[in-house]
C-alpha cells in the first residue's frame, strides 16, 4: 500500500495548465493558509514569502487561479472580494454585519447544490451560493 501524495502548489498549478512562478506558488499557499483574505492581505502575504510583487500581478494571478478552479472568489455585498482555497464542494458562508468576519458553512441539507430553486427558469443548476448574515460571537457580546 502506498501513501497518498498530496500535490504541491507547483504540481497543482502545472496540473491546471498554468505557468509555475514563485509568486503564484506563494499566492496559492497564502490564500490556503489564510481565512477568506482580501486582495491587500494576499499581496502582503505573497510579499512576505517572495519579496516585491505588484498589486497588478496579484490581481492577474488571482484571476488565473480562480478561473482554473484552484481558488474561489466570494463577494459578500458591501464587502471587498475575498478568496479562499476551499473549492469544489459548494459550501456557503456566514458574514458578521459588524466586523465583516467570514466563516464557512457546509451544505445544510441534501446533495449539492444544496437548494432547489422554486423556479429554475429552464436552467440546469449546478451550484447555489448562500450568504447568512448576522453578528459574530465577539460582536454579539459587545451589543449585549
Three-class SS of 43-95: HHHHHHHHCCCCHHHHHHHHHHHHHCCCCEEECCCCCCCEEECCCCCCCEEEE
Could you state, in chain order, the average pLDDT of each consecutive group of 10 residues for the chain (144 residues)? 76 94 95 94 96 95 96 89 89 88 77 68 80 90 69
Q: What is the pTM of this model?
A: 0.80
The three-state secondary structure class of 101 is: coil
Looking at residue 90, what is its pLDDT?
75
Q: Where in the chain is the domain with CATH 3.30.1490.190?
A: 88-143
CATH of 88-143, one of 3.30.1490.190, 2.102.10.10, 3.90.1010.10, 3.30.43.10: 3.30.1490.190
The CATH number of the domain covering residues in 9-82: 1.10.10.10
Give the separation between CA 9 and CA 110, rounded to whole angstroms.
32
Task: Name residue 134's beta-bridge partners.
Answer: 96
Question: What pLDDT shows up at residue 89?
Answer: 82
Please give the pLDDT value at position 110: 57
pLDDT at residue 32, as a whole number: 94
Q: What's the burial of 34, exposed, middle or buried (CB within 10 Å: 0-12/13-18/19+)?
A: middle
Looking at residue 9, its pLDDT comes to 92
CATH 1.10.10.10 intervals, the chain:
9-82
Under 8 Å between Cβ of 131 and 78: no
Amino acid at each position: 500500500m502506498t501513501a497518498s501524495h498530496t500535490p504541491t502548489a507547483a504540481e497543482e498549478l502545472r496540473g491546471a495548465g498554468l505557468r509555475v512562478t514563485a509568486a503564484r506558488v506563494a499566492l496559492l499557499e497564502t490564500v490556503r493558509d489564510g481565512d477568506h483574505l482580501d486582495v491587500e492581505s494576499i499581496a502582503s502575504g505573497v510579499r512576505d514569502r517572495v519579496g516585491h510583487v505588484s498589486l497588478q500581478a496579484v490581481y492577474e494571478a488571482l484571476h488565473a487561479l480562480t478561473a482554473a478552479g484552484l481558488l474561489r472568489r466570494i463577494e459578500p455585498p458591501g464587502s471587498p472580494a475575498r478568496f479562499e482555497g476551499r473549492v469544489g464542494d459548494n459550501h456557503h458562508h456566514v458574514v458578521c454585519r459588524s466586523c465583516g468576519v467570514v466563516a464557512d458553512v457546509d451544505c445544510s441539507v441534501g446533495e449539492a447544490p444544496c437548494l432547489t430553486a422554486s423556479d429554475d427558469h429552464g436552467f440546469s443548476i449546478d451550484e447555489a451560493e448562500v450568504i447568512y448574515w448576522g453578528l459574530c460571537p465577539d460582536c454579539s457580546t459587545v451589543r449585549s
